[in-house]
Amino acid sequence: MQAESTNCHANRTQAEVQAFSSRPLWTFPSGTLGELTRASHVRASLVLATLPELRSAARDLPPAPMAAEAFAAALRGPAIRVIAEVKRASPSKGAINPGIDAAVQAAHYVAGGAAAISVLTEPTRFGGTLEDLSAVASCVSVPVIRKDFLVHPVQLWEARVRGAAAALLIVRALSPSELPMLMDAARECGLATLVEIRDEEELARALEVGATVIGVNNRNLETLIIDPATAPALIPRIPAHCVAVAESGMQSAHDITPSALAGADAVLVGSAVSASADPASAVRVLAGIPRSTTARR
């Protein structure tokens, strides 16, 4: 019996090693994602010296605003939950709403039923700031996510000090050593994570580092091309114990329905609600769309 157990363990280990070695070698992203990731590395290097100060400031704060379990719970329910995004501009659309007041916009979203708020802090292509993050976190009671092209733990500590409950991590932008490092840093500073993927290999990487809230982006950030079939195809492969979030390219209930039927728990919507003259109503028509509770097991 002992020999049989040992052999099974050896075979399993060999299979795991073979599966890992068969993965495509990670390369630095190309296109727009590559540009934004490089710029983020530069931004991180410029504030790296503030890391001890940020850690000290975080110790003086109340407990983290939203533990990972509570963040996930906010995005679960019998109907689709909406993560509404504060977004002034984007590389694909250019200017969307340059004069947006982040705090006022977020309050409108919450009034419309948003379960969480995503705040873009990338400054050059999205027009975001860390001040936007602080302003939103101070005026809403729902979880606030720092959305950026984060590459270094110092940026997670920035988010924590500014009041974020969670931060976005993009699997394609992070090397096999960077992703677990950032997941560990998020846990250390008390942030939940929304881990973004686009294919099955990235899903495997997300699950290996313990991601429990996983976003599927319909947009290829390297080319900026949207394929609306991406999220509906991948969401059924996300384990049921995880929260599945569909991202990008959705403006109406009709756009959201395929992901809802595939078992998505939530959708992240940015341009449509940021550009709306009535952001509360724009969120309201998207919130509450029935979702399949049997598509993911």
pLDDT value at 275 more than 70:
yes
208 tagged catalytic = no
Which one-letter DSSP state was computed for residue 290?
Answer: B
Closest CA to 120 of 153, 97, 154, 152: 97
The least confident of 9-18, 19-28, 107-116 is: 9-18
Classify residue 233 as exposed, middle or buried by CB count within 10 Å of its CB (0-12, 13-18, 19+). Answer: middle
| Span 114-150, pLDDT tens digits | 999 999 999 999 999 999 999 999 999 999 999 999 9
pLDDT value at 2 more than 80:
no
| Span 52-101, pLDDT tens digits | 999 999 888 876 655 678 899 999 999 999 999 999 999 999 999 999 99
Q: At 192, which helix (H) or strand (E)?
A: strand 192-197
Query: What is residue 34's three-state secondary structure?
Result: helix
Half-sphere exposure of residue 182: CA atoms within 13 angstroms, side-chain side: 27
Marked catalytic residue, from 220, 248, 271, 274: 248
Marked catalytic residue, from 118, 217, 218, 220: 217
Marked catalytic residue, from 97, 220, 247, 274: 247
**E strands within 204-249?**
213-217, 243-247
CA distances from 186 to 48, 99, 180, 181 (A): 16, 31, 10, 9
Marked catalytic residue, from 87, 134, 220, 274: 87
Q: From CA 273, how far away is CA 256, in angstroms rounded?
A: 14
11 tagged catalytic = no
178 tagged catalytic = no
Marked catalytic residue, from 85, 122, 158, 202: 85
Which one-letter DSSP state was computed for residue 81?
Answer: E
pLDDT score for 148: 98
Q: Place 289 in a pLDDT band, splitting at 50, 70 and 90.
A: very high
CATH number of 29-284: 3.20.20.70
Closest CA to 213 of 226, 194, 231, 198: 194
Q: Place 14 in a pLDDT band, splitting at 50, 70 and 90.
A: very low
Mean pLDDT of 90-113: 96
Closest CA to 115 of 92, 142, 137: 142
Tokens 């379960």 belong to 115
pLDDT value at 203 more than 70:
yes
Query: What is residue 269's three-state secondary structure?
Result: strand
Instruction: Decide the pairing of beta strands 192-197 and 213-217.
Output: parallel
| Span 254-270, pLDDT tens digits | 999 999 999 999 999 99
pLDDT score for 66: 56
Q: From CA 11, how far away is CA 9, in angstroms rounded?
A: 5
Mean pLDDT of 107-120: 98
Q: Which residues lie across from 195 on neighbouring strands? A: 169, 214
Q: What angle do CA 263, 243, 133 make, to 5 degrees?
A: 125
Marked catalytic residue, from 122, 158, 196, 202: 196
| Span 144-175, pLDDT tens digits | 999 999 999 999 999 999 999 999 999 999 99
Mean pLDDT of 22-50: 95
Angle, in degrees to the nearest 10, between helices 153-161 and 51-59? 40
pLDDT score for 226: 97
Q: Where are the domains of the chain?
A: 29-284
pLDDT score for 67: 66
93 tagged catalytic = no
Q: Place 23 in a pLDDT band, splitting at 50, 70 and 90.
A: confident
Tokens of 191: 């942030």
Mean pLDDT of 187-203: 96
Tokens of 163: 């009041």
Tokens of 71: 């963040």
